Amino acid sequence: MFGYYYGYGYGSWGLPLMIAILISLYAQIKVSSSFNKYLRVPSRIGLTGREVARMILDRNGLYDVGIELIGGNLTDHYDPRKKVIRLSRNVYNGNSLASVAVAAHEVGHAIQHSEGYFPLIIRNNLAPIASFSARFVWILIFLGFVISPFLLELGILLYLAVVLFQVITLPVEFNASRRALLQLENGIISREEIGGSRKVLQAAALTYVAATLVAVLQLLRLLSISGRRD
């Protein structure tokens, strides 16, 4: 079995990739535990995530951005095509520190969009390409092993789009969190609540860092495999 994995590139990249995957799992646990911890801590202002999002949007002149309820947990996101912030139930209806922080983060993306934040523009343009690539990349890579090296190279090219999307997501997410904290500190949360809000946002950011690390190492492994086959 060891010889099989080594032949497909795991000998060189297996350990770093496994470590990256473990970091990714840790990040998922971290964001879940941090969110659940501060979900039980009411914010002093007493407003729901929806109300805080609306407040920040309005004071930034974003009256045309809507807010909708979405199912699931930690499914919160901003849709730039429809100019809508979608908040999960715990965030939309919750008045906890976690709810307020997550809502403010999504508003941060709306502010980025309104200001033409360049990394966000790049990510939005890459999104459909990365989505398409993610559907077919592993099929092509598998076929590349059994049929033709050309298909492997095509699969790697598609995976490169996925990696680029992950990389450009990092500054977008960190910037949105920075904007969120600035907005929250402006009369929404107290000085004592800043630490908890920052922990929620940092835990979420860690998941993007881990996902990017896994994607980059996977790309390097695939390039190593392609080089050996050549």
Pairwise CA distance, residues 146 & 152, whole Å: 9
Q: How many CB atoms are located within 10 Å of the residue 141 CB?
A: 20
Q: Whole-angstrom Cα distance, residue 77 to residue 113?
A: 13
CA-derived radius of gyration, the chain: 20
- Which letter does DSSP use for residue 67 in this model? E
The answer to whether the beta carbons of residues 224 and 9 sit under 8 Å apart is: yes
Q: Which token pair is 42?
A: 């009411």
Q: Are 171 and 112 in contact (CB under 8 A)?
A: no
Task: Report yes or no: 53 and 109 within 8 Å, Cβ to Cβ.
Answer: no
Please name the helix (run of DSSP H) or strand (run of DSSP E) that holds residue 43, with its range, or none. Answer: none
- Which H or E run contains 61? none
Distance CA 223, CA 213 (A): 15
Which residues are the active-site residues? 106
* Residues sharing a CB contact under 8 Å with residue 230, sequence separation 6 or more, in sequence order: 149
**In the sheet where 77-79 sits, what is the strand order?**
66-70, 84-88, 77-79
